[in-house]
């Protein structure tokens, strides 16, 4: 389960990095708190952070539940795809929001796979 721990910690660190980028953009572009709009680049970083938090709510529990029923190294590998997808999403969304599709897909697809794997594992466990 150490791989699951690592992927979970990396997902949390990634979220903190995105939150830090929001703070940095807030300062660079003069967007005073509590405003959540202003300069377009700030708004993009803010949206990257918010979207990442929205996915984390499903990603972390699905990762852990799936790892209880399937080989943890495989599940961690799926989680690693999520991390790459989130990084790609952040870079492309901040540069050009219209180009975010690949990063979004590479982070949403693993979440869906993990949810299905978790559900299948639970159902298999209940049937046993």
CATH value at residue 77? 1.20.120.550
Q: What is the pLDDT, as a whole number, of residue 95?
A: 97
How far, in Å, are 29, 52, 106, 109, 124 from residue 83 at the CA level? 27, 10, 9, 12, 28
Task: Summarize the confidence of residues 92-111 as an average pLDDT.
Answer: 97
* Sole residue written with tokens 């405003």: 35
Q: Above 90 in pLDDT, residue 37?
A: yes
| Cα(116)–Cα(110) distance, integer angstroms | 10
Mean pLDDT of 28-45: 96
Mean pLDDT of the 80-102 span: 97
Work out the percent of the chain whose per-residue pLDDT is above 90: 99
Predicted confidence at residue 128, as pLDDT, reads: 83
Nearest Cα to 7, choosing from 68, 73, 103, 106? 73
Tell me 98's DSSP state: G
Query: What's residue 52's pLDDT?
Result: 98
Other CB atoms within a 10 A radius of the CB of residue 35 amount to: 11
For the chain, the domain total comes to 1
- Quick check: 48 pLDDT over 90? yes
70 Cα distance to chain centroid: 21
Mean pLDDT across 34-50 = 97
What is the overall mean pLDDT for the chain? 97
- Residue 22 resides in a domain: yes
Tokens 């703070």, residue located: 23
Instruction: Give me 64's structure tokens.
Output: 């852990």
Predicted confidence at residue 68, as pLDDT, reads: 98
Q: For residues 120 and 36, give the distance between their C-alpha atoms in angstroms, rounded to a whole number.
A: 40
Q: For residue 57, is it within any domain?
A: yes
- Domain residue limits at 10: 2-123
Residue 99 lies in a domain: yes
Mean pLDDT calculated for residue range 33-59 = 97
Does residue 128 form part of some domain?
no
Question: Per residue in 23-33, pLDDT tens?
Answer: 999 999 999 99
Give the confidence band of 18 by pLDDT, cuts at 50, 70, 90.
Answer: very high
């Amino acid at each position: 389960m150490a791989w699951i721990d690592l992927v979970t910690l990396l997902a949390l660190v990634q979220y903190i990095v995105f939150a830090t980028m929001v703070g940095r953009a807030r300062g660079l572009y003069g967007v005073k708190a509590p405003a959540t709009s202003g300069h377009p680049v700030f708004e993009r970083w803010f949206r990257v952070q918010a979207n990442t938090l929205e996915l984390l709510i499903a990603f972390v529990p699905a990762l852990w539940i799936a790892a209880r029923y399937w080989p943890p190294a495989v599940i961690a590998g799926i989680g690693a795809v999520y991390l790459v997808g989130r990084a790609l999403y952040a870079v492309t969304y901040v540069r050009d929001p219209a180009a975010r599709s690949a990063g979004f897909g590479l982070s949403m697809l693993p979440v869906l796979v993990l949810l299905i794997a978790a559900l299948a594992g639970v159902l298999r466990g209940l049937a046993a």
